[in-house]
Amino acid sequence: MMTDEEIDELLAQIRAQQAEDQLKEEQKKKTEEADDRRSVTPRRRTHRNLILNLLLVFFAAVFIISGVYLFKYYYDSKQNKKLVSSLKEMIEDDGSGSDDPSSPNYKPSNAKVPEFVTVGDRRIQRKFRALYEKNNDFVGWLTVEGTNIDFPVMYTPDQEQKYLRKNFDGDYALAGTLFIAAASDPFKPTTNVIIYGHNMKDGSMFSDLLSYKDESFYQEHKRIRFDTLEGNGTYEVIAAFPGQVLNVGEEGFRYYDFYDAASAEEFDTYISEIKSRCTYQIPTTAEFGDHLITLSTCENSGASEGKRFVVVAKRID
């Protein structure tokens, strides 16, 4: 039989062994956890690096695409300016001069006597012969002196937006070419001839129309020149206002639906409407029987929101 001392010694040995086993178990557990952490960390790092690499590729692609777009945008703009410049050189000098009294080439209206020639079966101004022979869709030239607005105007009533993204030669061009609404008729002419053009970020086409928001700009650019195949025309601005292209069924003022006034009342209603939308007072007005041109462009360099800026002028010569 074991003595009490022997029993106590045995129990102490058992407890020591248990403690040692427990310590080994804890160490083993810590080792396994460390191994687990070492195996998980690379996976996490690999996942994070993959995400970073994908983001890098994405932003690099965006940068490259944006760069290509900007290059093409300004390259096309430069090419279009060169084309317009070459077209302008094709206009023969007819001695009609400028409508601006401050211009050294100014000539009063009674001194302007257009000369005409026959091209095919059409009688046109001699000065536009070369342009018309180059493209029969050409109908005139629009100019606002002292601005960048100095462009040919096209008219294709069977395909109104043919030149929305085409240059004079019919090639693709982001800036397009100024064109007349199909329901207008520059030769009849209708009461109102609507001319559309893009608001380009480089300041070309109809971008300068937005400068008419400033009254001081209007004061210095009251007159617009629109010479057609059949004659020269000087117009004076009577309204400049923000417009909106409305959805089908949406109520509101559709400035782009006014072409011919059937009565003085209809004409006066239109004039009152556009006058009320001006942000400053323009004393010049129009009466039934006057002929108008309406210049329309996108207000925000994009057509998505339907916002437009509109300048209306009446013929004075």
**Strand stretches in 158-252, DSSP E:** 178-180, 192-196, 223-228, 234-244
- The span from the CA of 196 to the CA of 183, in Å, is 13
Closest CA relative to residue 93, chosen from 136, 126, 123, 117: 126
Confidence of residue 25 (pLDDT cuts 50, 70, 90): confident
Range in 43-47, 186-190, 282-286, 287-291 the model is least confident about: 43-47
pLDDT tens string 142-173? 999 999 999 999 999 999 999 999 999 999 99
Please determine, for residue 60, whether its predicted confidence score (pLDDT) is greater than 80. no
Tokens of 135: 């493209």
Residue 292 tokens, joined: 């108008």
Q: Give 202's pLDDT tier (boundaries 50, 70, 90).
A: confident
For range 27-51, the mean pLDDT = 67
pLDDT at 98: 59
What confidence score (pLDDT) does residue 219 get? Answer: 97
Phi, psi of 264 (to 5 degrees): -65, -35
Q: For 128, which DSSP code?
A: G
**Residue 278 in contact with residue 239, Cβ under 8 Å?**
yes
Residues recorded for the chain: 317
Q: How confident is the model at residue 71, as a pLDDT? A: 53
pLDDT tens readout for residues 260-304: 999 999 999 999 999 999 999 999 999 999 999 999 999 875 555
For residues 300 and 245, is the Cβ–Cβ distance under 8 A? no
Q: What is the mean pLDDT of the chain?
A: 86
Q: Check pLDDT > 80 for residue 70.
A: no
CB 176 within 8 A of CB 205: yes
CA-to-CA distance for 111 and 176, rounded, in angstroms? Answer: 35
Instruction: Give, as one character, the DSSP assignment of residue 104.
Output: T
Top-confidence residue, 240 or 81: 240
- CB under 8 Å to 156, separation ≥6 — which residues? 137, 162, 163, 179, 182
